[in-house]
Amino acid sequence: MKHITIADIAREAGVSKATVSRVLSKSNLVSEKTANRISSVIEKYSYIPNVLAQGLAGKPTRNIGVIVDEFPNNFYIDLADGIDKVVSANNYTFQVMSSQWEPERELEGVHSMLKSRVDGLLITPVSCDSPAVLELKKSGIPFVLINSKSEDPDVSYVCCDNYKGGALLAEHVNSLGHEQVIIVSVFDHETVRDRIRGFEDTLRAGALPVIRYANAKTYNDGYELAPTVAEYGSITEKKTSLFVTNDYVAIGFITRFLEMGISIPRQAAVAGFDDIRLSSICRVPLTSVSQSVCEMGRTAAEYLLNLIKKSSRFPFRKLIDPHLVIRESTKM
Amino acid sequence: MKHITIADIAREAGVSKATVSRVLSKSNLVSEKTANRISSVIEKYSYIPNVLAQGLAGKPTRNIGVIVDEFPNNFYIDLADGIDKVVSANNYTFQVMSSQWEPERELEGVHSMLKSRVDGLLITPVSCDSPAVLELKKSGIPFVLINSKSEDPDVSYVCCDNYKGGALLAEHVNSLGHEQVIIVSVFDHETVRDRIRGFEDTLRAGALPVIRYANAKTYNDGYELAPTVAEYGSITEKKTSLFVTNDYVAIGFITRFLEMGISIPRQAAVAGFDDIRLSSICRVPLTSVSQSVCEMGRTAAEYLLNLIKKSSRFPFRKLIDPHLVIRESTKM
DNA sequence: CTGTTAGCGCCTTCAC
DNA sequence: GTGAAGGCGCTAACAG
In a domain, A235, yes or no: yes
Q: Distance between CA atoms of B140 and B151, rounded to whole angstroms?
A: 18
Cα Rg of chain A, angstroms: 26
> Quick one: pLDDT at residue A98?
95
In a domain, A332, yes or no: no
Using a CB-CB cut-off of 8 Å, the residues of chain B touching A221 are: none
> Quick one: pLDDT at residue B212?
76
B22 C-beta less than 7 Å away from strand C: yes
List all residues 6 or more positions away from A87 whose beta carbon is below 8 Å from its beta carbon: A64, A93, A94, A301, A305
Looking at the predicted structure, is the pLDDT value of residue B278 above 80?
Answer: yes
In a domain, B43, yes or no: yes
CB A230 within 8 A of CB A260: yes
Closest-CA distance, A281 to chain B, in angstroms, reads: 6
CA dihedral B232, B235, B241, B244 (to 10 degrees): 50
B172 with B270, same domain: the answer is: yes
B102 with B141, same domain: the answer is: yes
> Quick one: pLDDT at residue B191?
94
> Quick one: pLDDT at residue B165?
98
Containing domain of residue B116, as a range?
Answer: 56-160+293-322
B156 with B299, same domain: the answer is: yes
In a domain, B307, yes or no: yes
Using a CB-CB cut-off of 8 Å, the residues of chain A touching B97 are: 84, 88, 93
B239 with B297, same domain: the answer is: no
B134 with B207, same domain: the answer is: no
Longest dimension (CA), chain B: 89
Closest-CA distance, B277 to chain A, in angstroms, reads: 9
A1 C-beta less than 7 Å away from strand D: no
Q: Please give the single-letter amino acid code of residue A214.
A: A
Using a CB-CB cut-off of 8 Å, the residues of chain A touching B48 are: 111, 114-115
Looking at the predicted structure, is the pLDDT value of residue B75 above 70?
Answer: yes
Q: Distance of CA A240 to CAs A234, B14, B269, Å? A: 9, 72, 37
| B111–A80 CB contact, under 8 Å | no
Q: Tell me: the pLDDT tens digits for B203-257?
A: 887 666 777 777 788 899 999 999 999 998 888 888 899 999 999 999 999 999 9
Q: Tell me: the pLDDT tens digits for B261-273?
A: 999 999 999 999 9
Q: Tell me: the pLDDT tens digits for A153-180?
A: 999 999 999 999 999 999 999 999 888 8
List all residues 6 or more positions away from A92 whose beta carbon is below 8 Å from its beta carbon: A62, A63, A64, A119, A305
> Quick one: pLDDT at residue B258?
94
B209 C-beta less than 7 Å away from strand C: no
A282 with A303, same domain: the answer is: no
Q: Give the pLDDT mean for B81-110.
A: 94
In a domain, B233, yes or no: yes
Instruction: Name the more confident of B120 and B309.
Output: B120
**pTM strictly above 0.85:** yes
Cis upstream peptide for B60 (omega within 30°): no
The CATH number for B13's domain is: 1.10.260.40
Q: Distance of CA A27 to CAs A21, A23, A42, B4, Å? A: 9, 6, 16, 31
In a domain, B259, yes or no: yes
> Quick one: pLDDT at residue A286?
97
| Tally of domains in chain B | 3
A18 C-beta less than 7 Å away from strand C: yes
CB A251 within 8 A of CB A278: yes
> Quick one: pLDDT at residue A275?
94
- Please, what sign has the CA dihedral across residues B84, B87, B92, B94? negative
Q: Distance between CA atoms of A114 and B49, rounded to whole angstroms?
A: 9
Q: Please give the single-letter amino acid code of residue B199.
A: F
B63 with B155, same domain: the answer is: yes
Number of helices and strands in chain A (H, E): 13, 12
> Quick one: pLDDT at residue B311?
66
The CATH number for A122's domain is: 3.40.50.2300
B198 with B242, same domain: the answer is: yes
A139 with A247, same domain: the answer is: no
B116 with B134, same domain: the answer is: yes
Where does residue B218 fall: left (phi above 0), alpha (psi -120 to 50 degrees), or beta otherwise? beta
Q: Which helix (H) or strand (E) segment is B213 a member of?
A: none
In a domain, A136, yes or no: yes
Which of residues 42 to 81 on B have a Cβ less than 7 angstroms from any strand D atom?
Answer: 53, 56-58
Looking at the predicted structure, is the pLDDT value of residue B280 above 70?
Answer: yes
> Which of B220, B195, B191 lies closest to B210, judged by CA?
B195
DSSP 8-state code for residue A237: T
> Which residues of chain A fall short of a pLDDT of 70?
1-2, 206-208, 311-312
**DSSP alpha helix (H) spans, chain A:** 6-13, 17-24, 32-45, 51-56, 74-89, 103-115, 131-139, 162-176, 190-202, 219-232, 247-259, 278-281, 293-309
Q: Give the pLDDT mean for B58-81.
A: 91
